Chains A and B, each alone.
Chain A
Amino acid sequence: MNALLLTAVFGVIMMLSSFLLTSKTAIRGLAVSGMVIVLAANVLEMMGIVFFKIDTKDMIAFDRFSLLFNSIVFISTLVYFLLSARDMEKVGINYGEYFALIFFVLCGVTLSSSFHSLLILFLGIEIISIPLYILTGSDKRNLKSNEASLKYFLLGAFSTGLMLMGIALIYGATGTFSTNGITTSPTSALVIAGMLLLMFSMAFKVSAAPFHFWTPDVYDGAPTVFTSFMATIVKVAAFIAFMRLFNDEFGSLQSRWQLLIALITAITLFIGNITAVFQQSVKRMLAYSSISQAGFMMMAIFAMNADAREGLLLYSAAYCLATIGIFAVLMKLKDYSFDGFNAFAKQQPLLAATTTIFLLSLAGIPLTAGFLSKFWMIKAVAGTGKYLWLVIFAVLMAVVSVYYYFRVIQAMYFKEGDGQTIEASLPFKWTLVLLAGIIVLLGVFPNWIIYWLYF
């Protein structure tokens, strides 16, 4: 509750700041300190200190799971601000508004991670989406950005329609919006149809195949600084909503949707990984990589057990931090192709080393958080005792992913070239080093996150 209200308040404050504050440094400082306050408030709530006592009529449930997830999101956003806030200046003149929109997105994330009613889910997803349509098109003079925004808006609106239809059908069958689980007549056509519609619309939001077609174009067309935000924080938020929905509301129907989710998972892994192999631009490769990572996170939806919940949290943290790091480095480059990374290690040894750690984490190499999160996913699916082919398929796809992640490492370290000259400030470098350190530490001591879920 703390974070929900504070993110909304800071959204308004940031909006006002754009005409009250003239200096960009001041706006940036305000945004970062706002993020710190939100994070602190959320951590306090995890410790049992709630600032606002509001009776939500059981429509929102701030349990340990959602609070922990919110903390992960806020930490990721804080890191994102520290690394990339400066790059938002290049997008356009509405510097304060960008931060305002991001805070509104976070407000939506808070809602969709803790809903206990289908209405709140819808609200949360919409509050996330609408600012994103704007952010995607924020590079107003760039045709690609405009196209991406329009595409995202049209398809997003369509999937929202599906979601509303699904909610309506479920309401018709159960007579309530509360996600207490389907108890009456689980086989009725209303329930099944509603469940499928909700599944498809959520699959669209997390860009799982075959609902992924918007992802590469939108991620590629949007300004890179916002792609970073969309591909990480927004995506994992949609996953948490997906998980909550299918755990709370449709948990009793697991045997009915499990095969379908398994197929979606397999197709997502296949398409994401195989297509990423053929990309020439690192930015587009990362878009497809986000699809393939979504495939791995889908495994948690599939398994839906205690391991899956722990794993999804760990995965969110590992994936967000690593991807934000890579995008932060990518933004500094002018040439986004793989060749643009040639001899990067000679030019910027520190940045190259941290980028390598991020890539290793995404590829799931041990001693990084990425490995343990994949490990948890595999364990969750293997724990169901069924669909062992899915596990083997997933790890083979993880091997494919090594191919395209390592292409960047090869270019940085082993290829000859001039190396692009980039300016990177000292705090930027140290933040990256800190981030890489967190990823390695999480890869060795995952208990730090999981402990918070249970204590």
Chain B
Amino acid sequence: MSILGLTLFKNVSYLQFHADWISSINSSFSIRLDGLGQILCLLTAVAYPLVFISTWKTQYKKSHNFFALMLLMQAGLMGVFLAMDALLFYFFWELALIPAYFLCSQWGGERRIAVTFKFFIYTFTGSILMLVAIIYTYLQTPTHSFDISAFYNSSLNNSSASWVFWLMFIAFAIKLPVWPLHTWQPDTYEQSPTAVTMILSGVMAKMGVLGMIRWLMPVLHLSFYQWGDTVSTLAITGMIYASLIAIQQDDLKRLVAYSSMAHMGLMCATLFAETQSGMQGVMIQMFNHGINIIGLWIVIELIEREFGTRKISELSGLAHRSPAMAMLFVVVALANIGLPLTNGFIGEFLMFNGIFASAVTKYYIVFTVLAGITIILAAVYTLNMIRKVFYGETNSLTTAGYPLRLNEKMALAIIVVLVFVIGLYPRIFLNMTQETSEFILKKAGVGGLFGQ
């Protein structure tokens, strides 16, 4: 709770901190809180208490290690969201990864070691390629500095900028994940302990989006424009692919994992449309997706714990015995597919608007339509899952029923309140993100390119 208080305090005051670190190579410990950092730190600050409240009763072996690693990961995440120095950014990026590795390998499901190792190798490959890109860009900066403002002025020529772009993009795409670099994700989400899965999907995946917004779009704006269509195609292919697989899933965790992949793909595609409303939509949607998916994991966790299974085919009629759970879950699930009045709607509407209004791509209609299809697919698998799991006749397994515990009720209630507050009154977030997204788009040179 004190962490929440601390970060909320950070959010209201415009904080900036700068200290020398490795002066011989012009790297400094420089952090600053802009609109993007605000919204993501807020997400981290909200997500962690939610995770801890909802898993209050879960007993871990060696719980002191578990919580220490969780909080270490939080430090890494916050650092990533705030770092304004490329080397520092890389440090925090890895600092968030290492605890995740130990958390998943130690407390995960039965296939945890192999699965987590795959996850680790994947992300480590990405991040070390990003390191090469960072060093290369650093050497091209006029002042030889890792500071972000120096990165804005780097003088990369066109072909090397493309190389650097892809090296960095792979790192971010693995974190999102963007198809075809996603294969670690469903397994890892399935095998990790639920508290960690919540953080991985709710907060950590946002590291990739942040990387694209802060380190890719303004720094390598020409390549960002040049490869925009390619990346959008990848992202949208991934969205449709993930949605189709989600429809086939029988395992609740994997279903949510694939749905998460589809939603993250939309964010990626929207970023490459480079529009003001799309950008703000992405930032808001990052927050929304973060809390919504945590809500979904909470319910799945308690279904698994009570009934010993996550198979949709084995569950039925939960709503009869525990209506509160059903109601809260349905709200969160509908928010996840972006129904009006919920927070998901605000984000998705802005993002679709952004793609459609895009000036940087010729294929904006195709992209919008294809991305729109995934919304329908999302409705298919979400409603289908709700129907099968919560409605219908109770079977022998679910007839015992299960009343929500107080802490789970609290966590879900907070999420539902947030869902409606943001859904009805998004202005706070719009104001928060406006300045940053304008600034980044200006750096990205969209206005200059097209005379807007």
User: Which of A's residues lie within 8 Å of B, judged by CB?
Assistant: 310, 360, 364-367, 371, 375, 378-379, 382-383, 385, 388, 391-392, 395-396, 398-399, 402-403, 406, 410, 413-415, 445-447, 450
Contact = CB atoms under 8 A, between A and B. Distances in A.
Nearest to B90: A366
Contacts, number: 68
A309 B310 CA distance: 57
Contacts of A360: 98
Nearest to A381: B135
A447 B117 contact: no
B132 interface: yes
6 contacts: A365-B94, A366-B95, A382-B132, A385-B139, A399-B121, A399-B125
Interface string B6-38: 000000000000000011110000000000000
A446 B24 CA distance: 10
A403 B121 contact: yes
Interface string B195-237: 0000000000000000000000000000000000000000000
B24 A395 contact: no
B98 A365 contact: yes
Contact of A406 (B22, B117, B125, B136): B117
Interface string B145-170: 00000000000000000010001000
B102 interface: yes
Contacts of B418: none
Contacts of B124: 399, 402
B120 interface: yes
Contacts of A447: 22-24
A395 B94 contact: no
Contacts of A388: 136, 163
B131 A375 contact: yes
A118 to B, nearest CB: 33
B136 A367 contact: no
B120 A414 contact: no
A432 B119 CA distance: 30
Contacts of A399: 121, 124-125, 128
B358 to A, nearest CB: 32
A310 B121 CA distance: 29
Nearest to A306: B24
A277 to B, nearest CB: 12
Interface string B73-111: 000000000000001001100110010001001100000
A414 B98 CA distance: 15
Contacts of B112: 414
Contacts of B105: 410, 413-414
A193 B212 CA distance: 51
Given A366-B90, A388-B136, A450 B24 contact: yes
Given A410-B117, A413-B106, A367 B131 contact: no
A378 to B, nearest CB: 6
Interface residues of B, number: 30
A378 B133 CA distance: 11
Interface in B356-399: none
B42 interface: no
B121 A367 contact: no
B4 interface: no
A402 B120 contact: yes
B129 interface: yes
A410 B113 contact: yes
Contact of A391 (B23, B95, B117, B132): B132
Contacts of A366: 90-91, 94-95
Contacts of B23: 447
Nearest to A363: B124
A68 to B, nearest CB: 14
A352 B125 CA distance: 25
A347 to B, nearest CB: 15
A360 to B, nearest CB: 7
Given A364-B128, A392-B167, 9 more contacts: A365-B98, A379-B139, A382-B136, A395-B128, A399-B124, A403-B121, A410-B113, A413-B102, A445-B22
Contacts of B135: 375, 378-379, 382
A414 to B, nearest CB: 5
A396 B125 contact: yes
A403 B120 CA distance: 10
A369 to B, nearest CB: 13
Contacts of A385: 139
B106 A378 contact: no
B131 A378 contact: yes
Which of B91, B94, B132, B139 has most A Cβ within 10 Å?
Answer: B132
A60 B315 CA distance: 81
Contacts of A379: 25, 135, 138-139
A366 B79 CA distance: 14
A399 B126 CA distance: 10
